Amino acid sequence: MPQEPPDPARVRVVVSPMSIALVLGTLALAVFVRNVADAARSTFALFLVVGILAALATLPIEALARSMSRPLAIVVVLLGALGLLGLVGWGVVGDVRHELDRLEDDAPQAAAQIARSERFGRLAQEVRLEERVDDAVRTLRSTAESQAEDAARRGGRVLVGTVLFVFLLSWGPRLARAGLAQIPDEGRRRRVHHVLTRAVRRGRAYLLLTYAEAVAVGMVVYLAARLADVPGPAPLALAAGAGSIIPLVGTVLGSAPLLLVAAGFTSGWRAGLLAGTVLGLQLIDDALVRPRVNAGVLQVGTAATVTGLLIGLALGGVVGALATVAVVVFLVAAAEAAGVDDPTEAPGADAVGLP
């Protein structure tokens, strides 16, 4: 005889001790993983940045290795990268210190003039403008000095990163081959190899061209800002160069702080010339550079780049933003490569002299 359905009023939910232990263990594991990730975030970021730099440096190293030994090519590329980073850091820090010196001299004088003026003098005295300006300048100076000391204490991380960089350049290919050897099926292993090869080559080419353009944009903006006598040209040029990696509108967005500062501290015609320079750089990118990169190497959308920049800025500042954009580019390249059976048959696979 068929059994009658159970009465809903008599249905009971029994929670076993094993279920309770499983829930509590899952929560404890989640908290542990979160704490470990927070504590090791800087270490993960170091490995990520160094890995990306090693992948990008492979192309110039292979090009130099055709005319010299590979160890010497690694040394040349490493010294060039450290020199470029040191030059940028020295320019930004020196520029900030110079502007702070100017601010220490000009800000109190400007506050005193406002306090003596007939129109705003009474208000300035009531809000104690001169005292507040002096306090603000001292705070900026102490903050800049603490940041400089913190950067100096990171020398050990630079040394560790350099050693890791050389290790990845020397043993990276072997590690990749060992990882592929863990795939037992030969057909699947060959497929993964093709996808990874195409993704790394195209993503690396895209990043090298994009970062080279960012350096060029930053140099042009820096020279233009210096000629226009804009305060703080090095940080403003760094922002313009970093913003230029965004397709279509990046140069204009990255140069927005420059144009605002120029409008407030320089004459109208100088600000207009800077605006024309920025628009010219943006037009060159949109009409000449970006179409060739999209057609011959890889196409990465504006939304994906902006998303990577925002996430990277929240995690690790400018360096984190550039690293996150690199991760996004490699993911886009991998997704594109997954639809190609053989990377040697697709157009653009050997673009810009990829090995």
> How far is residue 85's CA from residue 90's CA, in Å, rounded to a whole number?
8
Helices (H), 118-249: 121-126, 129-153, 155-180, 186-227, 233-243
Q: What does the pLDDT read at residue 220? A: 93
Q: Cα 51 from chain centroid?
A: 14
Q: Which among 299, 318, 201 has a CA at the least distance from the CA of 254?
A: 318
Distance CA 165, CA 36 (A): 24
Q: How far apart are CA 183 and CA 181, in angstroms?
A: 5
Tens-binned pLDDT, residue by residue, of the chain (355 aa)? 555 555 555 556 666 777 777 778 888 877 776 676 666 666 777 777 788 888 888 888 888 888 888 788 888 887 887 777 777 666 666 666 666 666 566 556 666 666 676 666 676 677 676 666 666 656 655 655 555 555 555 656 667 777 777 788 777 778 888 888 888 888 888 888 888 888 888 988 899 889 889 989 988 998 998 888 887 787 788 888 888 988 888 899 888 888 887 877 777 788 888 999 999 999 999 998 889 888 888 888 888 888 888 888 777 666 777 788 888 999 898 888 887 765 444 444 343 333 3
Domain ranges of the chain: 192-355
User: Residue 176 burial (CB < 10 Å; 0-12/13-18/19+)?
Assistant: middle
Closest by alpha carbon to 96, among 150, 154, 148? 148
- pLDDT one-digit tens code per residue, 182-220: 888 888 888 888 888 888 889 888 998 898 899 899 889
Please list, in sequence order, all residues whose beta carbon lies within 8 angstroms of the beta carbon of residue 151, skipping any fewer than 6 positions away.
89, 93
**What are the phi and psi torsion angles at 245 (to 5°)?**
-75, -15
User: Could you tell me the end-to-end alpha-carbon distance of the chain, in angstroms, rounded to an integer?
Assistant: 76
Answer for the pair 261, 232: CB distance below 8 angstroms, yes or no: yes
Going from the C-alpha of 260 to that of each of 169, 251, 252, 327, the distances in angstroms are 43, 14, 12, 32
Closest CA to 52 of 322, 298, 302, 294: 322
For tokens 């390249």, the residue is 333
**Percent of the chain, pLDDT > 90?**
5
C-alpha span between 12 and 17 (Å, rounded): 16
- N residues, the chain: 355
> Do the Cβ atoms of 250 and 243 come closer than 8 Å?
yes
How many angstroms separate the CA atoms of 332 and 203, rounded? 8
Give the rounded distance of the alpha carbon of 320 from its chain centre: 5
Report DSSP state, residue 2.
P
What is the C-alpha to C-alpha distance for residues 231 and 173, in angstroms, rounded to an integer?
46
Cα→Cα distances 190→89, 196, 201, Å: 43, 10, 16
CA angle, 242 then 312 then 38, to 5°: 150
The first and second tokens of residue 95, run together, are 């520029």
72-115 per-position pLDDT tens digit: 888 888 788 777 777 766 666 666 666 666 656 655 666 666 66
What is the rounded distance in angstroms from the CA atom of residue 285 to the CA atom of residue 277?
12
- Regarding pTM above 0.75, the answer is no
